[in-house]
Amino acid sequence: MLEIKDLKAEIEGKKILNGINLVINPGEVHAIMGPNGAGKSTLSAVLAGRADYTVTGGEVTLNGKDLLELSPEDRAREGVFLAFQYPVEIPGVSTTNFLKTAINEKRKYHGQEPMEATDFLKFMREKMEQMEMDKSLTSRSLNEGFSGGEKKRNEVFQMAMLEPTLAILDETDSGLDIDALKLVSNGVNKLRSPERSFVVITHYQRLLDYIVPDFVHVLYKGRIVKSGDASLAKELEAKGYDWIKEEVEANAQ
């Protein structure tokens, strides 16, 4: 479904991604781990379409379409969802209004009629129950005054509402305590399906105890230097990133 071929990207002249190759099939959960500065956030930013990054080589296709040609809103409407590491607050825009607009924009893009107001509310209530979200959430302004955990749970709730085919979780575990982590992970696990793929970007292995991946890739200096299954994450936890760095240096010689 998602094919990344030799992707290179930089920001303000600094090279960050130096040739990423990755294939993600429907229903698969891929974890991307790596030390700080490896390029994890850059990868998610480039996939989501942030303007400050420049793609200098390679290609990314989503179901055969050139993803890099699409605007951020079109990528979303094609089924990409990015759960932000630091979700921004938007005072004055209610969560309800925001989600209704987003859903209807996607429907318009696909030539569908907008959802009726009553249908939307019913849909939202179902999803809130499924994701165990507090009722008060939806009348509040988007993320305003939310704790770190609440913001991350709100990202996963939006994912439930927007039903993407490719969900990218950008360091969703950062700033969360163990209880919040479990809640967020429960939510994500409920959304796993054969039609939906996940890219879980994380620095720590702990999240992957709860969201068990099918594949684990280690990103270092802008390249995927090692791939494996869920046990690779355990190995990293035991040995640390230095083990990978040493291996890469050794192979370079």
Question: Which stretches of the chain bind another protein, using CB under 8 A?
Answer: 48-50, 71-73, 75-77, 81-82, 84, 87-88, 90-93, 98, 101-102, 105-106, 109, 141, 158, 162
C-beta of residue 88 within 8 angstroms of C-beta of residue 146: no
Instruction: Report, in Å, the least distance between residue 165 CB and another protein.
Output: 13
Closer Cβ to another protein, 187 or 213, answer by number: 187
Closer Cβ to another protein, 52 or 242, answer by number: 52
Instruction: Report, in Å, the least distance between residue 90 CB and another protein.
Output: 5
Instruction: Report, in Å, the least distance between residue 98 CB and another protein.
Output: 7
Closer Cβ to another protein, 154 or 197, answer by number: 154
Question: Rounded to 5 degrees, what angle do the CA atoms 193, 196, 198 make?
Answer: 110
- Tell me the two tokens of residue 247: 């291996």
Query: For residue 162, how far is the Cα from the chain centroid?
Result: 13
C-beta of residue 186 within 8 angstroms of C-beta of residue 131: no
Report the C-alpha gap between 163 and 124 in whole angstroms. 12
Closer Cβ to another protein, 89 or 126, answer by number: 89
Instruction: Report, in Å, the least distance between residue 59 CB and another protein.
Output: 21
Q: How many contiguous H segments (helices) and E segments (strands) does the chain have?
A: 9, 12
Instruction: Kindly give, in sequence order, each residue whose CB lies less than 8 Å from that of residue 67, ignoring residues fewer than 6 positions away.
Output: 2, 47, 60, 61, 75, 78, 80
Report the C-alpha gap between 246 and 236 in whole angstroms. 13
Amino acid letter, residue 248: V
Instruction: Kindly give, in sequence order, each residue whose CB lies less than 8 Å from that of residue 124, ignoring residues fewer than 6 positions away.
Output: 96, 99, 138, 161
Instruction: Report, in Å, the least distance between residue 9 CB and another protein.
Output: 17
Closer Cβ to another protein, 81 or 146, answer by number: 81
Q: Which of 18, 16, 59 is nearest to 39 (CA)?
A: 16
Instruction: Report, in Å, the least distance between residue 168 CB and another protein.
Output: 10
Closer Cβ to another protein, 81 or 215, answer by number: 81
